[in-house]
Amino acid sequence: MTQFLNFHTHNFPSTPQEKSIYNLLIQDFRRFGEVENNWLSAGIHPWYAHPEDWQSQLTAVAQVAGHKNVLAIGECGLDRGILLPLETQLKIFAAQVKLAEQLQKPVIIHCVRAFNELLQWKKQVKPSVPLIVHGFNNKPEIMQQLLAHGFYFSLGVALLNPESNALKVLKTIPLTRLFLENDDRNTPIEKIYEAAAVQLEIPISALKNQIWTNFATVFNQ
């Protein structure tokens, strides 16, 4: 049976039913040797960015980023809900995307209430690597803007909530731009695929195949 692609997870190891991209947070880099046989994303999450010492955090990311199993840079991004000023966050984020550009690897983006800033940055910098907004659970207007600027979307546990924005926008996201994830939750990835398949009115097997096709597009595999 085809495995489920879990696009973004903090759970390790994964279950046999899934193939996951395990997100290695900057403070967990000492575990790199333990996890390097798995697909990974590595980066500086804005919550754990050091306001004065982020350059050395960036050096640490650069040291692992070239590894063949580090498929993507991230999660990194912008979060209006934390104390670190957005201006500083933007600098740290932009530096990571620059690294991703050098390596030609996609970027997994964490964005909380900073989509205007994200879009503004995208228009100015015009990065060439695929950008995936993970944990997307926002209004249709934001989705449309991101879509128009070429972003991909990874949706997660919000799909299990019938009132969520994620579930409402799901049908209007082109299937070619979609990924699914369980992030830092214990929810099995199967449950998220099930909820998405019901809403999309397609079989789970078709959804799996589509997402693997998207994976091949984004990661050139």
Size of the site for Zn ion (CB under 5 A): 1
Q: Which is nearer to Zn ion, 77 or 130 (CB)?
A: 77
Q: Which is nearer to Zn ion, 20 or 214 (CB)?
A: 20
Q: Which of residues 87-126 bind Zn ion (CB under 5 A)?
A: none
Q: 12 burial class (0-12, 13-18, 19+ CB within 10 angstroms)?
A: middle
Q: Which is nearer to Zn ion, 186 or 220 (CB)?
A: 186
Structure tokens at 70: 């580090």
Q: Which of residues 158-217 bind Zn ion (CB under 5 A)?
A: 183
Rounded Cα distance, 46 and 149, in Å = 22
Rounded Cα distance, 50 and 34, in Å = 25
The least distance separating Zn ion from the CB of residue 16, rounded to whole angstroms, comes to 22
Rounded Cα distance, 174 and 102, in Å = 28
Closest residue to Zn ion using C-beta atoms:
183
The least distance separating Zn ion from the CB of residue 126, rounded to whole angstroms, comes to 26
Cα dist from 204 to 53, 135, 137, 177, 201, whole Å: 45, 20, 21, 17, 9
The least distance separating Zn ion from the CB of residue 22, rounded to whole angstroms, comes to 10
Helix (H, G, I), strand (E, B) or coil at 213: helix
Q: Which is nearer to Zn ion, 117 or 183 (CB)?
A: 183
Q: Which is nearer to Zn ion, 48 or 215 (CB)?
A: 48
The least distance separating Zn ion from the CB of residue 135, rounded to whole angstroms, comes to 7
Query: Which residues contact Zn ion by CB under 5 A?
Result: 183
